[in-house]
Amino acid sequence: MDSRKDRTLGPAARKLVILDRDGVINADSDQFIKSTDEWVPLPGSLEAIGRLNQAGYRVVVATNQSGVGRGLFDMATLGAMHAKMSKLAAAAGGRIDAVFFCPHTSVDACDCRKPKPGLFQEIARRYEVDLTGVPAVGDSLRDLQAAAAVGALPHLVLTGKGKKTLAAGNLPDGTRVHDSLAAFVNDLLADEDA
């Protein structure tokens, strides 16, 4: 990052957290989250985003949304889900700066579908930051693998698919485990104060 630009952005812009969506911020479903009615925040997740913002972090979401590619919902519906997420986060004192998503299925062989690092690389380009050491929170192995591929710090939460992911093992080196997004935020902010 250009140091002149870094100074103009201020300290809040230099602190970034990347979150997966389903299973981290909202309840997940093996049948996909296909509507705003099905998009239900996990207890404490939106407040946790607010705490990150208050501590000077920008929060961005990186999410696979193959339901679009499968024809289960359209881009307008996805946009409505993300608008609901942002509105509810704001009501809880939080802000999601951006949502980066992959609409493709596994057969599309794209570069943006996690575990490939395309979404993370796009975040790095858009924010003009090196993601080395940036916390990235997910509930599935592919979230952690995409984070590790760009040097971000993988954090597994045990919500969503997290317990199955932990039980299956083979986590990237250095993966930290937390009960929930709220627990991750508690640990992150405690580490800053230490």
| CA–CA separation, 146 and 126 (whole Å) | 17
Q: Which of 32, 22, 114, 105 is nearest to 73 (CA)?
A: 32
CA angle 163-111-158, nearest 5°? 10
Among the options 20, 28, 179, 187, which is catalytic?
20
How is residue 40 written in tokens? 């239900």
Active site residue 22: yes
Which amino acid would we find at residue 145? Q
Q: What is the rounded CA–CA span in Å between residue 128 and residue 36? A: 32
Longest CA–CA span in the chain (Å) reads 48
Binding residue numbers for Mg(2+):
20, 22, 139
Query: Residues comprising the binding site?
Result: 20, 22, 102, 104, 110, 112, 139
Rounded to an integer, what is the distance from CA 112 to the centroid of its chain?
14
Where residue 151 falls (left for φ over 0; alpha for ψ -120 to 50; beta otherwise) is: left
**Among residues 22, 28, 97, 130, which one is catalytic?**
22
Position 163, amino acid: K
The verdict on whether 20 is a catalytic residue reads yes
Return the active site residues: 20, 22
